[in-house]
A and B are shown apart, each in its own frame.
Chain A
Amino acid sequence: MIKVNNLGMHFGRGRGHTQVLKDINFHLAPGEFVTIIGRSGSGKSTFLDILMGLVQPSEGTVERTNRASMSYVFQKPALLPWRNVLRNVYLPLQVRGVRRADRLKAGMDALRKVGLSYAAHLFPFQLSGGMAQRVAIARALAEDPDILLMDEPFSALDPILRENMNFNLLSLWQRTQKTILFVTHSIEEALILSDRIVILEGGRFVQSFEVDIERPRTYESFQDPRFSELYRQIRNALPHQPNLPRLAPEEEEDP
């Protein structure tokens, strides 16, 4: 779907010069769910912006196969406060000049996918944080994109709601067969969602983990031995408090 070759990105010049991304090679296969984990300011959003074509990379190329289409979901829902939910959801179609009747139908379909068709006539200020973010996801789905880019979409939600939204997203992903590139700070979130996790550190993708936890994932998956094993590995790949020891591998049980 997407292939990134030797990508580099820097901002400013002279004393203000910052190299945000360098030598990035990355591949996103159709139907895959990949998550990027990295510290704040490590360049995750910049990477998604480049994929979306919002900014041009300083070096390297981004290839998209078969003109795959993309939608972007941000950390904040960014709904237009003067439009009701349905009119927010069909905005992308309106921008593309889709006829009224068609965008209405597509908008309703998208709302149904996130379970919010009953809220079509509400205004953004009448929604809870979780509902608003689901509307934002419906807006992204209304375009029926091949790829969803999701930049910390659930970071502003409380942990329980966030967990529920994760399972929501998983079932959506399974039903719609989208390709998803997801960004988060949360290792748990990444593990419960992804096929593959890449770590962005110092402007590079330093490590990649295949998440071989059984699907479909449920609340039980948090108890899966692979979950804690992968958690330990990923945590150790991320920056540490210098005076604390790293997580030790779990004791092998004697046969």
Chain B
Amino acid sequence: MRKPQFFEFGLPAVLFHRAKKVLRNLALKLGGISLILGSLLLAWHLIIFGFSPEPWLFPPPNDVWSRLGELWRSGVLQPHLTMTLTEILAGYAAGIGLSFLVGYTISQQPLLERLITPYLVVANSVPLVAFAPLLLLWLGNGITAKIVVTALIVFFPATISTINGFHAQTAMHQRMMRCLGAKKWQRFLFLELPSALPGIFAGMKIGAPLAVVGAVVGEFLGTGQGLGHLILEANGLMDTPQLFVTILVLGTVGVVFYSLIALAEQIFIGPWAEKNRR
């Protein structure tokens, strides 16, 4: 019999096979998305054709396209986009990273959890956006304040989700790990973390669009660069096509960001998550 190789059965192999499958599904999904986008674009054209609204109220698609081209070619759009992306990514990474540490710590201490969880839920239901002016007041108008706003908005729902994730492991599996004589770090790596992944990813998916909101709200309040700033500017100049361009770019950023997280989720969490656990 042929000697089995690690790359056929080990974790890299599992992830590779899953990635292949997921990408195949993705192609299908992209088809669906193009169909929907196509219909929306058609509807847009029809509205322009049917009602011929004033261009400064509702610009035709071609105006928006050419405006996007202008903004890109003149190099106006890029620095704003880069700034906003930086805020989103940094704030998201900080918020998710912190939610992981805090969520795990809380989940390990039943007393702490009973004390803190109610406040987490309350904090989560307060519109955190309302705190943004305060944060800008305290932290100044730099990028730091915007990253903190983004991180904070991402942090609370992700933490709640992470705590739930770390409670997903079953007593049966804990007992099994104990029988194997697994050390604490091994129990974490082989049981607790994988069981928590669905919860962690749920938090990351909730957090992705929130990060975009956080960054833009931060930019609304401060002055300087960023797509939020570009929106304010366009609004002030009644430049509706630029408003549309910015909204389109922000929407694309949000959708792509969310999809990347969802893709990672599908690769790291196999079909077992939905099926019966054994």
A-to-B contact residues, CB < 8 Å? 52, 54, 71-72, 74, 76-82, 84, 86-87, 91-92, 94-96, 100-101, 104-105, 108, 120-121, 123-125, 127, 132
Indicate whether A123 sits within 8 Å of B271 (C-beta atoms), given known contacts A76-B278, A95-B181. Answer: yes
Report the 4 A-B pairs with minimum CB-CB distance, sorted nearest first: A125-B275, A81-B272, A78-B176, A72-B179
B278 near A125 with CB under 8 A, answer: yes
B178 near A82 with CB under 8 A, answer: no
How big is chain B's contact interface, by range? 20 to 34
A81 near B4 with CB under 8 A, answer: no
A-B contacts, CB under 8 A, total:
80
B173 within 8 A of A: yes
| Smallest CB separation, B54 vs chain A (Å) | 57
Q: Mark B162-180, 1 if CB is under 8 A from A, else 0.
A: 0000000000110111111
Residue ID in chain B nearest A94 by CB atoms? B190
B186 within 8 A of A: yes
B-to-A contact residues, CB < 8 Å? 3-6, 8-11, 14, 172-173, 175-183, 186, 190-191, 194, 197, 269-273, 275-278
A120 near B9 with CB under 8 A, answer: yes
**Inside 8 A of A71's CB, which chain B residues have their CB?**
179
Show 15 residue pairs from A and B whose CB-CB distance is below 8 angstroms, ordered by the A residue: A74-B176, A76-B278, A78-B173, A82-B194, A82-B197, A82-B269, A87-B11, A87-B14, A91-B180, A91-B190, A100-B10, A105-B4, A120-B4, A123-B271, A127-B278
Task: Give bound CA distance, A80 to B277, whole Å.
Answer: 8
A82 near B4 with CB under 8 A, answer: no
Task: Give bound CA distance, A95 to B270, whole Å.
Answer: 23
B9 near A121 with CB under 8 A, answer: yes
Task: Give bound CA distance, A81 to B277, whole Å.
Answer: 6
Task: Give bound CA distance, A207 to B83, whole Å.
Answer: 79
Indicate whether A82 sits within 8 Å of B272 (C-beta atoms), given known contacts A87-B9, A120-B9. Answer: yes
**Inside 8 A of A100's CB, which chain B residues have their CB?**
6, 10
Most-contacted residue by chain A among B8, B179, B190 (CB, 10 A): B179
**Inside 8 A of B269's CB, which chain A residues have their CB?**
82
**Inside 8 A of B191's CB, which chain A residues have their CB?**
80
**Inside 8 A of A123's CB, which chain B residues have their CB?**
270-272
Additional pairs, 4, CB under 8 Å, beyond known A78-B172, A87-B14, A123-B270:
A80-B190, A84-B9, A91-B190, A105-B4
A81 partner, pick from B9, B180, B190, B275, beta carbons under 8 A: B275
Indicate whether A78 sits within 8 Å of B175 (C-beta atoms), given known contacts A87-B10, A120-B4. Answer: yes
Indicate whether A95 sits within 8 Å of B272 (C-beta atoms), given known contacts A86-B9, A87-B10, A132-B278. Answer: no
B190 near A77 with CB under 8 A, answer: no
Residue ID in chain B nearest A127 by CB atoms? B278
Task: Give bound CA distance, A54 to B197, whole Å.
Answer: 28
Task: Give bound CA distance, A5 to B182, whole Å.
Answer: 28
**Inside 8 A of A80's CB, which chain B residues have their CB?**
173, 190-191, 194
**Inside 8 A of A127's CB, which chain B residues have their CB?**
278
**Inside 8 A of B178's CB, which chain A residues have their CB?**
54
**Inside 8 A of B5's CB, which chain A residues have their CB?**
104
